[in-house]
Structure 1
Amino acid sequence: METYKINYKSEGLNIEGFIAKPITNKEKAKLPAIIFCRGGNQSFGMLNAYQLKMINQLAENGFVVLASQLRGNIASEGVDEFGGKDVNDILKLIDIAKELDFVDAKNIHVLGYSRGGMNTYQVSKLTDNINSIAVVGSPTNKFKAIKFRESMYQYVYKPLFGDTIQNKNAYVNRSAVFWHNKLNEPTLILHGSDDSRVALEEAQQIIDSLTASNKKDFEYKIFEAGNHSLSNYREERDSLIINWFKTHNK
């Protein structure tokens, strides 16, 4: 495995990120890529040794993995808007991936955990330069999230993108259930029934919406007693994600 820390520009800001790739004997071999979207907010949930291990395990399956700390934390400049302009930091990674001579630009996938799942849905809406997406423990309805975890509204949502009255559209823009018909890529949704951070109801809402709209190439699994990151189902979780992406390589 080879893992690099990178610094890149996004809208003029210096952003920290990482690239992991398997060591291959074929110098000109082009590999599919995964854009890994982190959870948390600001400096909470930043990419650390544990998450880099997850990223390396993805790379071991024959993928180049790119990940960003996003803007607005101790590693990167700017202000975290939790699903605002920070999404551009992820879109920039897609551009970077396409420029790497060891990446197959026709095969780029996006994977998001928690907040990163929200960002993954947003990326799907904003670009057609990806093959498929997968989300784990992802929020889909910020109005539901407020009722499930009231503290998130006071300490994250309201400070980072405003209240629900004057900034209603900001909540809609961060809630894929309201624009599920704009998720054009094949979509895999994984969620735990015992998720203490994102209500199972949020996952069920978008699953029901996608099912009702007859979305093609869409799969999901609810893990009985699964936690937020499905770490208690790690092997099955990772196997489903890797197989999903490999199935959707061109």
Structure 2
Amino acid sequence: MKRTTQVLTSVVIILIFFSCKREEVNTFNSQITSQELLNKTEAFSSETVDLYKINYKSNGLNIEGFIAKPEQHNTNTKLPAIIFCRGGNKDFRAITENSYKYFNFLASQGYVVLASQLRGNKPSEGIDEFGGNDVNDILKLISIAKELNFVEAKNIHILGYSRGGMNAYQVSKLTDDINSIAVVGAPTNLFKGAKFRNEMYHKVMKPLIGDSIQFREEYIKRSSVFWHDKINEPILILHGSNDSKVVVDEAQQIIDSLIVSNKQDFKFKIFEGGNHGLSNYNQERNDLIFNWFKTHNK
């Protein structure tokens, strides 16, 4: 009886081992530690797009992310990718069920969409540095995208809203593995932003970066207007004149800098009365973004 129990226990352990191993193998590639299909849940239901919640490692931290891909991925066709850079900080504006619809929309246009929660919130480990080492979480997504067998590695684009736009500028400086960038309501000069929104400075910038005098260089690292000549990719800049979060002067400042430096491949539009995310110009905003990406596919 004892031997029978030992044999059964061994069988259970072996089954558990192979079950866990099989789950590991079934992730899209080795850089993804786990993935979960979210389709047909209360949070997300789509007949045309598969949405996965994933976990991956960045600087040894466990980071939550997402991959959305059209049904077309079931064929041998490889698709261009959009790396979506979220706005906000820590848990504020983290990716939630409300974001899934936008991922679905982006993917429905024929793109594989990858997004990161970034470090420093409930789903992910680490500390949010608001444009510090958290940029590595986005760079890791690009690395993952390049290895996915349903992504066309030569066609990877970056889309950033608000803080995500700031991160998109930073990514441009750090990698040549992307085709083009589109930003909406993006900060380009944190010194100007701190004066425009004093509350933002005291509640977000100062706690996450440090004060702007002692840590001046850290603010410069996050302010693309100071290193606009390092932005090598084609870039689309969209901003609203009534942006209450990031003053339109920040967009105008980077636009003027790119013009003076004779940047060859960039386009911009300031939307009269446009809000922070240009939700009052949804259609035009979306058309400009998709046309930009399509134009810069190889």
Q: Does 1:83 align with 2:112?
A: no
Shift of residue 136 of structure 1? Answer: 0.1
Q: Deviations over 1:175-203 (max 9, x none)?
A: 00000000000000000010000000000
Q: Deviations over 1:188-240 (max 9, x none)?
A: 00000100000000000000000111101100001111000001111111111
Match runs of 1:97-246 below 5 Å: 97-246=145-294
Question: TM-score scaled to structure 2, two decimals?
Answer: 0.83
Structure 1 residues 86 and 25: alpha-carbon distance in aligned structure 2, compared to 1, 3 A threshold: closer
Paired residue secondary structure (2:289) = helix
Shift of residue 25 of structure 1? Answer: 7.0
Shift of residue 49 of structure 1? Answer: 2.2
Contact 2:73/2:150, CA 8 A, preserved across alignment = no
Paired residue secondary structure (2:213) = coil
- Higher alpha-carbon deviation: 46-55 or 179-188: 46-55
Contact 2:55/2:62, CA 8 A, preserved across alignment = yes
Partner Cα distance (1:24, 1:197) in 2: 38
RMSD value, Cα: 0.8
Shift of residue 53 of structure 1? Answer: 1.2
Paired residue secondary structure (2:176) = coil
- Higher alpha-carbon deviation: 23-32 or 116-125: 23-32
Partner Cα distance (2:134, 2:194) in 1: 21
Partner Cα distance (1:27, 1:239) in 2: 27
Partner Cα distance (1:25, 1:91) in 2: 23
Partner Cα distance (2:260, 2:118) in 1: 34
Paired residue secondary structure (1:5) = strand
Partner Cα distance (2:111, 2:51) in 1: 12
Residue 3 of structure 1, aligned match among 45, 51, 75: 51
Paired residue secondary structure (1:24) = helix
- Higher alpha-carbon deviation: 172-181 or 45-54: 45-54
Query: Of the two structures, which has the highest relative contact order with CA contacts closer than 8 Å and spacing of 6 or more?
Result: 1
Alignment size in residue pairs: 250
Segments of 5+ residues of structure 2 without an aligned counterpart are 1-48
Q: Give % identity.
A: 70
Residue 46 of structure 1 corresponds to: 94
Q: Which amino acid aligns with 1:191?
A: H
